[in-house]
Structure 1
Amino acid sequence: MNLDQLRGPVFSLFRMVTGLLFLLHGVSSLFGVLGGNQGTGLAVEFAVWPSWWAALIQLVCGAFVLAGLFTRPNATLASGSMAYAYFVVHQPEGLLPLINGGELSAMYCWAFLLIAVLGPGGWALDPLIRRRGSDATEPASVRTA
């Protein structure tokens, strides 16, 4: 078996797992479940900068990246939010991620940047929407031929 044949499916799975984990992080932060601040209602106070907004980005962008829908803009926003988290929250505590606790932010930042650059992969809604949109713009005589 040629490992290059697995490139597309493995990248799609990478995108989906990254999106799912980010989505779950947002759910945990917003609702205090899944290991979040359990028993306290919302884990972060509504509309408080930056924690609530970061959690909302995690929830929304994670869901869209998981589905492969509007993947590039959502992955770009997720990557930028994690770069912000790293440089504003973690980096002042120390230079290296192992010292400042910013490994997760750094990894998400780079993972979402990779997804933003490479796109959603084959197992995504973006290519389906693009195909459907191009079908709708073709004249009926071309579509039936």
Structure 2
Amino acid sequence: MSTLKLAPEYGASLFRIVVGFLIACHGASTLFAFPVNGHTVSPLVWPGGVAAALQFGFGVLVLIGLGTRTSAVMLSGTMAYAYFSVHQEKALLPMQNGGEPAALFSWAFLMVAIVGPGPLAFDALRAKVKAKVPVAAGSEPVAVV
């Protein structure tokens, strides 16, 4: 059973990677028609193009685990905005208004922001490197936050 102690942490990392990849693909398909061919939108067009640019940019950051919590909060808010501004006016429930993906993404990114990036992230690597920086002789050690 001791081998399962790290399962939740690595599970959080895998969840973050998958959700980041999915939202980055969604933004990329809107901006670049890749990986799905279709209608593209300029990133300067409000709200669809701006949302696609946020989805792609912050999605890649969540995927690699860099600035994870901030990026996840931004994406959670973006998807909540999409749900309430696009889907909610059609019907009350997500099953009725086609807003299930937006609602799920919003809550998934809120969870990533709360739980954190996990061990498989550039944020975790950066924290390890920062913790191993030697203290110069004669200077006082600095607390790592």
Answer whether TM exceeds 0.5 for this pair: yes
Per the TM alignment, residue 70 of structure 1 is displaced from its structure 2 partner at its CA by: 0.4
Higher helix proportion, which one?
1
Q: Find out whether 1:86 has 2:59 as its counterpart.
A: no
AA at the equivalent of 1:67 = I
Q: Given residue 133 of structure 1, which amino acid in structure 2 is its aligned partner?
A: K
AA of the residue aligned to 1:11:
A
Quote how far apart the aligned CAs of 1:132 are. 2.1
Quote the residue 1:30 is aligned against. 31
In 2, Cα distance between equivalents of 1:70 and 1:109: 17
Aligned match of 2:42: 45
Letter in 2 for 1:27: A
Q: For 1:100 and 1:47, how far apart are their aligned partners in 2?
A: 27
Aligned to 2:143: none
Which residue does 2:13 correspond to in 1? 12
Measure how far apart 1:49 and its partner are. Answer: 0.5
Change (3 A) 1:92 1:52: same
**Partners of 1:86 and 1:93 in 2: CA distance:** 10
Report the 3-state secondary structure (helix = DSSP H, G, I; strand = E; otherwise coil) of the residue aligned with 1:14.
helix
Residue 63 (1) aligns with residue 60 (2):
yes
Q: Which one-letter code corresponds to 1:93 in the other structure?
A: K
In 2: Cα distance, 1:4 partner to 1:26 partner: 35
Cα RMSD for the two superposed structures: 2.1
Classify 1:46/1:95 alpha carbon distance in 2 versus 1 (closer, same or farther; 3 Å).
same
Contact 2:25 2:34 in 1 (8 A): no
Aligned residues: 139
- Structure 1 runs of 4+ aligned residues shifted over 4 Å read none
Shift of 1:14: 0.4
Specify the alignment match of 2:119 in structure 1. Answer: 122
CA drift at 1:33 = 2.6
Q: Which amino acid aligns with 2:70?
A: P
Identity %: 43
